[in-house]
Amino acid sequence: MDPSQLLKGVLDLAVLAVLRDADGYGYDVLRRLRAAGLEDVADASVYGTLRRLFAAGALTSYVMPSEEGPHRKYYGLNKTGLDLLAQSTKTWNHFADTMSVLLLEEEAA
C-alpha cells in the first residue's frame, strides 16, 4: 500500500495536530510532520493544506521577522481550528478502530 495515498486523506488532521502544540511556519510544519514519522509528505501538499485551512477559517496567521532570511508567515489554531481538530480526531479514532477490527478478523480467518 502506498503511504502517500493514505496521507492525502489525513493531511489536514496531521497539520492541525502539529499546530496544536505550537504555531509554526510552512517549513517548520513540514519538518515536524517528517520528524513525527510522515517522511513521505510533500512540501507542496503541506503549504497547500496550510493555505486551505487558513482560507477555511481554521487558522490564524502572522508574519515574524527572521534573522536567517525573509520574514516567515506563522500559522496557529484558532477556535474553529481547535473544533475541527477535535471533530477530526473523533472521526479518525472511529475509522482506525473499525479498520483494526476488520484487519484482526482478516488475520483470524
Summarize pLDDT for 64-86 with one digit per residue, the tens.
998 888 899 999 999 999 999 99
Return d(Cα 4, Cα 23) in angstroms, integer. Answer: 25
Q: Which cell is 60 given? A: 490564524
pLDDT (average), residues 18-43: 95
Q: What's this model's pTM, rounded to 2 decimal places? A: 0.89
pLDDT (average), residues 44-68: 95
Centroid of chain to Cα 88: 11
Q: Which residue has the cell 477535535?
A: 86
Q: Which helix (H) or strand (E) holds 59?
A: strand 59-66
Adjacent-strand bridge partners of 61: 75
State the pLDDT at residue 24.
97
Q: Is residue 2 pLDDT above 90, yes or no?
A: no
Q: Which cell is 109 given? A: 480467518
State the pLDDT at residue 77.
98
Nearest-10 Cα torsion for 82, 86, 87, 91: 140
